[in-house]
Amino acid sequence: MTRLSGQTEFQTGSNKPIERRIAAARAIIGIERAWPALWPALGVAGTFIGLALFGAFGLLAWPLHALVLSAFIVLNGIALDRGFRSFALPTWDDGARRLEQDTGLKHRPISEAGDLLLGGAGDWWAEDLWRAHLRQRLTFSIPLRLSGPRSRMNERDPRAIRLAVLLFVAAGLVFAGRDGLTRIIGAFSGDAFASSATLDAWIDPPAYTGEAPIYLHDSRGSIAVPAGSILNLRVHGAGHPPGLSAIDGYPQFSGGNGEYSSTLRITSDGAVRVRAEGSTLGRWAFTAIPDLPPHISFDGAPGRTEHAALKLSYSAGDDYGVVALRAIIRPHGRPGAPLIVDLPLAQSSPKTVKDTAYRDLTEHPYAGLAVDITLEASDAIGQTGRSKTVTFTLPARIFTNPLARALIEQRQNLAAGNSVARDRVMLTLDALTIAPDRFYQDQAGIYMGLRAAYWALKNAHHEDDVRHVESLLWQMAIALEQGGLAAAAEELRRLQALITAALAQGAPQEVVDALLERYQQTLQRYMQSLAANGPKDNTPVPPGAKVLSEKDLNALLQAIEQLSRSGNRAQAAQLLALLQGLLENLHMTTASGGGGASGDKALSDAIQGLGDVMGKQRGLMDKTFRSQQQGRGDGGALSGEQGQLRQQLGKVLNGLRGRGPLPKEFGEADRGMGESQKELGGNDLADSNESQKEVLNALRKGAGALADQLNKEMAAQQGGSAGEEDSQDPLGREQGNAGGSFGNRVKLPSQTELQRARSILEELRRRAAERGRPKEELDYIDRLLKEF
């Protein structure tokens, strides 16, 4: 057989309309071949969907459900394999023949495009005749037609089982209603049918975070929780132990009789799913928020106070709270054990800390040496953060006795040196005891102490033996000097730390009062020692100096006690820290004049008197209200009390005469008292009650104006303007932009505020004692009292 050249062949694809019809014919043939091949796979799939729609899988336990699902998948795979084993895709010739047959064309005018000329190659007559035939073969007048796919399913399913499956699925759709799609999806995912079991799930964050528990609902979003949180799961009404897939492996539920529980710790990101009786009761994705280490830094270079105490200003913070602060002190460039100094916390586990601590380290061997100071903060899980290391020379006590200075120097060498330095100290101590009859005629105790230190050091085998020698040298140096002030100052610092801890930890008020009483007694001894060691002549007060009297310090201490009693313990601790700062920077003088930091006494007395008047006016208003409620006609007696209060207000205001114009609110208060007195005399209790409210409001505004005036005078007496950035308050802090003045750092509550707080606290306690009140009210009162 000879193939003609390209000019004599019919090219498939040269007629695009016919080619499109051939492609459609091929698709129809493919459907006719594939449709019977899907049986019985369609029957298996339809049966599975029908069972899912009727909720059959919800009655199965999850293991059995998984087994049935696997069986259906395997059966369907086998059926598809057998059905498509002889399947073949239609060719171009198949499509062309189908188009010719459906159209009714004879002599295969379309499919013969692939025919070849068998003979006559080279015969111009035969080839020309063949080309003419090709040109004329597609010139037919009949339109091309294609019939739809012809099903051969009867050959595969002669019993028409497919109709029964279709009816089963249709009935299932009617039965499932709107839940049809959910049940079909659940048949494959395991949530085939709503289980009768219920789930309670909640998260307990670590206690140190202070965060509230989180109750969980079924959610597909990510939930952020602190790392280390406990996930609590409680399943009720389950017929068998629920399944649990979790972040760390597969923990099991424990329990029985329908009640099961499980807990797991969330330490990393992951998902948790709880299943019972073939359904998913809960599914969550968790993001574990790591607990970051705390941070701490110096707020300024370390400093020293007037009495050689170390001053450390610092800022610290942690995402869930700082539990401990300390300063680590090591000798700079020399060996020696680190000195650990614990720093106070004004609150329990505060998230941010900004404070200044004072420590008297003059007794430590490192006093007077250059040291490296590093601040360290710790959180509840033991993570630590450290500041940059700062080199500083520790404050040291000034010894005037030459022998005392020599002993302190040897003590430093002993503490910050090695074994070679220890030998040198031992030789020095031996040399200091030469010629005792000449140098120690009246100091036999000192001589015996030096010899004891020498032999103790010579026979030392442990570090404790060396520490004993260091203590002995210090005691001898102190004995050679006169003192008592340092001990009192250190006792004040110790008591301040104890009171701060008691306030932060919610100690009973009796404990706080006892500590404050001890603090006041120690303060008196400190002031006496300070006076005894002060200058003997009348040294003039430096210009701009801030002057404090013992009365001022006692007034601050009294304010601290009142704040603690009124429930404002955080502000009491802050004010105590400020008082301690004042003492650290206090310098005794015998000169008179110079003003006082306490401000104008007349103003202070007036503010206290106004506080008393407002307290009594509030009590009178309560009496008036109760009389009105009970219908008693005792307005005459109440009118007398109102008149007495008006006279008391007049006496308070008389003490301010000559100071310029008084706030206009006092005039309003006086007129209001007069109106209230008349109304009470007429037994008009309702109008009197309103007048008394206006009186109280006017008194509050007037007292506030006097308090502002007093604060301004105190700031002026403390020296310098609040805007001068180089001036310092009595605590040594920079004023202005650097840190604010004393008045700006802590707002001292007025007598009115303290009286009001005490009244509220007493009323809460009175109502809490009345156990006949509703339980909800008593619980609310208890929560309020805990805040106090």
Q: Measuring CA to CA, which residue among 81, 52, 305 is closest to residue 191? A: 52
Q: Where are the domains of the chain?
A: 6-179, 195-289, 400-480, 486-533+545-586+730-745, 602-718, 750-788
Dist. CA 185–CA 183, nearest whole Å = 5
**pLDDT tens by residue, 444-487:** 777 777 778 778 787 777 777 777 877 778 777 776 655 456 66
**pLDDT tens by residue, 720-731:** 433 333 444 443
3-state class (DSSP) for residue 533: coil
Cα torsion angle, 498, 501, 507, 510, sign: positive
Evaluate whether 548 touches 596 at the Cβ level (below 8 Å): yes
Confidence tier at 732 by pLDDT (50, 70, 90): very low
Q: Is the pLDDT of residue 147 over 70?
A: yes
CATH number belonging to the domain at 195-289, selected among 3.10.105.10, 2.60.40.10, 3.40.50.2300, 1.10.357.10: 2.60.40.10
Dist. CA 408–CA 367, nearest whole Å = 9
Dist. CA 764–CA 567, nearest whole Å = 12
Which residue pairs, CB below 8 angstroms and at least 24 apart, start in 84-91? 84/34, 84/37, 87/33, 87/34, 87/37, 88/33, 89/30, 90/25, 90/26, 90/29, 90/30, 90/33, 91/26
Using omega within 30 degrees of 0 as the cis cutoff, is the peptide bond preceding 40 cis?
yes
Which pLDDT score, from 0 to 100, does residue 325 have? 93
> Interior CA angle at 711 toward 706 and 713, to 5°?
95
User: In angstroms, how far is the first alpha carbon of the chain from the final one?
Assistant: 113
Residue 41 burial (CB count, 10 A): 19
Evaluate whether 197 touches 235 at the Cβ level (below 8 Å): yes
Which pLDDT score, from 0 to 100, does residue 329 have? 92
**pLDDT tens by residue, 641-652:** 888 888 888 888
> Interior CA angle at 496 toward 528 and 464, to 5°?
95
Which pLDDT score, from 0 to 100, does residue 735 have? 42
Q: Which two tokens stand for residue 156?
A: 């595969």
In the chain, pLDDT over 90 holds for what percent of residues? 5
Q: Is the pLDDT of residue 175 over 70?
A: yes
**pLDDT tens by residue, 739-764:** 333 444 445 555 566 566 666 766 77
**pLDDT tens by residue, 102-121:** 777 776 667 666 666 666 66
Q: Which two tokens stand for residue 52?
A: 């899912």
Return the exposure string of 524-554: e unless at least 16 CB atoms fall within 10 Å of the residue's CB, then b.
eebbebbeeeeeeeeeeeeeebbbbeeebbe
One-letter amino acid for residue 288 of the chain: A
> Interior CA angle at 307 toward 305 and 311, to 5°?
30
Higher pLDDT, 216 or 772: 216
**pLDDT tens by residue, 596-627:** 434 456 777 777 788 788 878 888 888 888 88
How far, in Å, are 616, 643, 679, 688 from residue 682 at the CA level?
21, 14, 5, 10
One-letter amino acid for residue 93 of the chain: D
- If one looks up domain 602-718 in CATH, what number appears? 1.20.120
**pLDDT tens by residue, 359-383:** 888 878 888 888 999 999 999 888 9
Distance of CA 664 to the CA centre of its chain: 47
3-state class (DSSP) for residue 303: strand
Which pLDDT score, from 0 to 100, does residue 113 have? 62
Higher pLDDT, 5 or 355: 355
User: Per residue, what are the HEC states of 611-646?
Assistant: HHHHHHHHHHHHHHHHHHHHCCCCHHHHHHHHHHHH
